[in-house]
Structure 1
Amino acid sequence: MKVQLFIPCFVDQLYPQTAFNMVKVLKKAGCEVAYNTNQTCCGQPAFNAGFCDESRAVAEKFLKDFDHTDYVVAPSASCVGFIRNYYPTLFDNGAAHNKVKDLGKRTFEFSEFLINVLKIDDFGASLHTKATYHDSCAALRECKIKSGPRQLLSNVKGLEFVEMTDVETCCGFGGTFSVKFEGISVAMADQKITNVQATGADCIISTDCSCMMQLSGVIKAKNLPIQTLHLADVLASGWE
């Protein structure tokens, strides 16, 4: 099975190891992994800031970069949710409508690709720690991802998994929301970390690095011994 990688801006610039770990897991699953070096952004930041024309221009490039029949897999539910749910709005009744529809059907967030397409939930990973899971808003609400990541984590040897209170509550990032409404954003992240501490977990795991960056800010400010990891980093642990 051939897979085209889409590595979002956030991962490319700040968490490149997560991308490499995703490749590691996909290759172990037997996938032929390809990466188009011409790819850039999906257009979400511009769209969220109200610049629809600029977002459409970026999205048009994305359509060209991934104009084939392969699966597109990304380590970000946020970007996948944008492609599926908002590209149809950007290209409504346009010439690219059918391409957008096709792209949405073959674009997957990493964990849902493993569970729903490859139907593999055990990669022989091991990570000896106590961890909790954060449902990102995009994964939960835009991609309807809930049980898949937990199913994958249940097969990680040595991992003690605990759920936190209000697990489905936002971490407060929301892209430019965290800049425009800093006080609210920080308070939301602080509450999330309080809930994590109540579980006794040493690690927070999620599908979105943007959430992990948001929570890491509070963790560092409070000098807490809590680690943040993307799901791909966990599944790539403990084996070569």
Structure 2
Amino acid sequence: MKIGLFIPCYVDALYPEVGVATYKLLTSLGLDVAYPLDQTCCGQPMANAGFENMAGKIADSFDEKFAGFDYVVAPSASCTAFVKLYHPRLAKGHHECLTSKKIMDVVEFIHDVVKPSSLKARFPHVVSVHNSCHGVRELGLSSPSERNVPQFNKIIDLLRMVDGITIREPERKDECCGFGGMFSVEEPDVSTRMGEDKIARHMATGAEYITGPDSSCLMHMQGIARKENKPIKFIHVVQILAAGL
């Protein structure tokens, strides 16, 4: 199968190492991965800001760029969820929007499609897992803690294959960190306080690192931690899964 690698804007601009780790991880699993050089933003920032006409054109272009792949894989639960759930509405009347049916977050893809029995990674550190809102509520990377359903976490399932790692979860494990895209711009004080509370719960686990599937959430918490000199580090989950490759 042919895999189209989608690297979101903020990952490309701020965390390119996450994109590199995603490529290394997927190819180490024997997959045929290509990175379309002319790919663009998925349109989420424009749509969230109320400019859906602009986002609709980007959705059309996005679908064209990734038309020839069996799967589209991205290291971002947020952008993946936007393409999967909102591109069909933005593209309504234009085309079928096939990409929305084949895009997957990298954790979801490896867990549900590749299903490896082992990984080559080693990460001898204590990590606290951050379940991002899009991952929990829209992609099902983990079960919502408030629902009376069997509990699961695909992020933790994969991390358990990493040699030397110690995995922790914070109290209120799927409560929002306060980023929320435009929310952090429009309500910065509330957003910051939510981030502070979330960081405190992660740090209470004794973790050296906070990890998760969304660089946006990690970026938000990392900014607060640096500003307030909190002794905690941040790393995208795919960097752990690819550690040592």
Which TM-score band applies after superposition, normalised by the shorter structure?
over 0.9
The amino acid that maps onto 2:111 is I
State the partner residue of 1:171.
177
State the partner residue of 2:148.
none
Q: State whether structure 2 residue 122 is matched by structure 1 residue 116.
A: no
Q: Cα offset for 1:85?
A: 0.7
Q: How does 1:39-50 map to 2 (within 5 A)?
A: 39-50=39-50
Does structure 1 retain, via aligned residues, the 8 Å contact 2:25–2:242? yes
2:187 to 176, 181, 189: 181
TM-score, L = length of structure 1: 0.95
Q: For the aligned residues, what is the CA RMSD?
A: 1.1
State the partner residue of 1:18.
18
Does structure 1 retain, via aligned residues, the 8 Å contact 2:78–2:135? yes
Q: How does 1:1-240 map to 2 (within 5 A)?
A: 1-92=1-92, 94-96=93-95, 98=96, 100=97, 102-120=98-116, 122-146=118-142, 147-237=153-243, 239-240=244-245
Q: Cα offset for 1:225?
A: 2.0
Q: Deviations over 1:19-50 (max 9, x none)?
A: 00011110110011101111010011000011
The sequence identity of aligned pairs, in percent, is 39
SS at match of 2:128: strand
Structure 1 stretches of 4+ with a deviation exceeding 2 A read: none
Q: Deviations over 1:159-187 (max 9, x none)?
A: 11111001111111111111110000000
The amino acid that maps onto 1:104 is S
The amino acid that maps onto 1:175 is G
State the partner residue of 2:147.
none
How many residues of Structure 1 are paired with residues of Structure 2 in the alignment? 235
Does structure 2 retain, via aligned residues, the 8 Å contact 1:189–1:215? yes
Task: Quote the Cα distance in structure 2 between the aligned partners of 1:213 and 1:138.
Answer: 15
Q: Cα offset for 1:121?
A: 5.2
Q: Cα offset for 1:70?
A: 2.2
Does structure 1 retain, via aligned residues, the 8 Å contact 2:211–2:237? yes
Gaps of 5+ in 1: none
Change in Cα spacing, 1:201 to 1:121, as seen in structure 2 (3 Å) is: farther
The amino acid that maps onto 1:135 is N
Deviates more, 1:82-91 or 1:26-35: 82-91
Task: Quote the Cα distance in structure 1 between the aligned partners of 2:100 and 2:168.
Answer: 33
Does structure 2 retain, via aligned residues, the 8 Å contact 1:121–1:152? no
Q: Deviations over 1:111-132 (max 9, x none)?
A: 0110111111531211111111
